[in-house]
Chains A and B, each alone.
Chain A
Amino acid sequence: MAIKFNPSPSLPPPVNSVGAVAWVRHNLLSSPLNIFLTLFSFYVLYLLIPPVVEWGLINATFEGESKAACTAGGACWAFIGVYFEQFMYGLYPADETWRIDLALILLVVLIAMFAIKAVNKLFLSIGIIAVYPVIAYFLFAGGVFGLEIVETSLWGGLFLTTLLGVVGIVASFPLGVLLALGRQSSMPIAKSVCIVFIETIRAVPLITILFMASVMIPLFLPDGMNFNKLMRVLIGITLFSAAYMAEVIRGGLQAIPKGQYEAADAMGLTYWQSMVLVILPQALKLVIPGIVNTFIGLFKDTTLVYIVGMFDLLGRIQAATHDSSWLGTTIEGYAFAGFIYWAACFGMSRYSMRIERKLETGHKRN
């Protein structure tokens, strides 16, 4: 008779390899060099943090009507307080800014509805992608239901920054997917059109495209035909980031094993079915970091519209620092701008990490 094989029981790991003390030992004090680096980092933090806190909080002035009120020697946040409306909405009429707030609240509510189980996700998505932009456009621009018309030249501040960023992101993503698929395509005409588009746009700085959009295009349009500068700039930004997006997505498409394409083909799926159902979900998931990278880049690149005379958040701040009663508040202005951009980009980055974790299906084993 054979000897019966009984696997030995699994034991917990040794105590000194888990817990806070082990973490400190392993990560901060694991070698003489690490001990030195840890101590050095603490020293640098000690040098940096107290003066920044002193300047930004302890000696800061939060109330006041001009730079003269800031006498404590610290930051002059009163400047931000006075100009806050303008930084948020640009020159949008103060009585009408509720329309922007309403559009924002509406968007947040719509997105929050994804969390409700009873809501049909497909209808909700269609609503957000197709219906919401129309509502938002009329809220912003006015001209219907007795809403006062607000020229796009008055749009500005964080509102304009967000608008450029969101529209650019939402429009450039599908365009980038199509360009990436086109570049991979076996149809010679589609392929060359996509390659020429991508390579041309990528070879040109965004500033050039914005200049083209705002200055050159009107010269070529027939007299009397004039479409909105904001619209032209939006198209420019969208095309620019779509070209980058396309290359990021192409990287993802190339990383999908040939066997996935073959399995989809072998079961009789059409080209679009196999792309939408099999290839893209995997390829896009692989390149989420690259996609978010492009989004973040795009969001910050929107500051370049300052060059063509549009005053986004940074533009408005810069203009405000030239106010004669607030001279010498540049640092506060830029610190505020930096904080807003940082918060937005850090938010995007964290959100993308959450999506990545959510989509993890353990196929790294393969």
Chain B
Amino acid sequence: MTEQNMALAQLEPGEKAIIEFKDVNKWYGDFHVLKNIDFSIKKGERIVVCGPSGSGKSTMTRCINRLEEHQKGSIIVDGIEMNDNLKNIEAIRKDVGMVFQHFNLFPHLTILENLTLAPIWVRKMPKKEAEEMAMHYLERVKIANQANKFPGQLSGGQQQRVAIARGLCMKPRIMLFDEPTSALDPEMIKEVLDVMIQLADEGMTMVCVTHEMGFAKTVADRVVFMDAGEIVEANEPHEFFDNPQHDRTQLFLSQILNH
């Protein structure tokens, strides 16, 4: 519990959290997958979530935009409580972009159509304006020349950069990354991480589930370590890597850093 309080305590008095987990619990049937998650994220903060598989890190992240439903406790995103109210869910999802491990681009639409779909239908933006904005973001991720191809014709790294651009097209206030580089060939990881680093430099609030410890060290404001559905430890990167408090964290770090 003390570590979680420490995570909360990082918030200055009077400062508002953009994402707030209060005593969040979740079960899959009888399996207790998230246990008493208490955690706040400030605006502009870059959070890296790590931990062994099955530790609940993806589930926790996906609770933020309700791809997973929590059963106890409360999650407040950008001042809106996440509950069964469809209006709240839609309002939160408009402001939260998400990038998935397997890209999840829509294979029947071109790259450009993938990017403009949500702005046109959710933000009600005129098609021409949406296309101009989409091209702008495609240029930022350096694949504007592929705009009229289909996702199946692109490499994994290119697809993931498109997915990031697609998330940005909704002008989100928060970006969630669920293991964005885990399905990529080693040669393509860097091009995706570069885009993410650029995004972090611009002050985007980011929650990133990843095993890229190099990325965590250079970009994260805080690293969160989870195991068995709990937040074991959350700390600034240099403290987290150089001076882990918990023996479970030490074991995890020794296993992933010395392989």
Contacts and interface: CB of A to CB of B under 8 A. Distances in A.
Interface of A: 257, 259-260, 262-270, 273, 277-278, 281-282, 285, 359, 361-366
A361 B117 contact: no
Given A263-B98, A265-B93, A267-B167, 12 more contacts: A257-B102, A257-B104, A265-B65, A265-B66, A266-B96, A267-B117, A268-B122, A269-B122, A270-B90, A282-B108, A359-B108, A365-B152
Contacts of A267: 93, 97-98, 117-118, 122, 166-167, 170
Nearest to A260: B104
Contacts of B122: 267-269, 273
A263 B106 CA distance: 9
Interface string B203-243: 00000000000000000000000000000000000000000
Among A268, A277, A365, the one with the most B-chain Cβ atoms within 10 Å of its Cβ is A268
Interface string B101-136: 010111110000000011001100000000000000
A342 B98 CA distance: 51
A269 B89 CA distance: 11
B106 to A, nearest CB: 6
A366 B108 contact: no
Nearest to B123: A268
Given A267-B118, A361-B150, A363-B150, A262 B108 contact: no
A260 B151 CA distance: 13
A361 B67 contact: no
A361 B153 CA distance: 8
Interface residues of B, number: 27
A282 B105 CA distance: 12
B100 A262 contact: yes
Contact of A363 (B65, B94, B151, B170): B151
Given A259-B100, A277-B121, A268 B150 contact: no
A268 B93 contact: yes
Interface string B80-97: 000000000010011011
Interface of B: 65-67, 90, 93-94, 96-98, 100, 102, 104-108, 117-118, 121-122, 150-153, 166-167, 170
Contacts of B96: 266
Lowest 4 CB-CB distances: which A-B pairs, in order? A363-B107, A363-B152, A263-B104, A268-B93
B90 A268 contact: yes
11 contacts: A263-B104, A265-B65, A265-B67, A269-B117, A277-B121, A281-B108, A282-B107, A359-B108, A363-B150, A363-B151, A365-B152
Contacts of B66: 265
A237 B121 CA distance: 37
B226 to A, nearest CB: 21
A299 B151 CA distance: 37
B101 to A, nearest CB: 9
Contacts of A257: 102, 104
A266 B66 CA distance: 8
Contacts of B98: 263, 266-267
A281 B107 CA distance: 10
Contacts of B117: 267, 269, 277-278
A260 B122 CA distance: 17
Contact of B106 (A278, A285, A359): A278
A264 B90 CA distance: 12
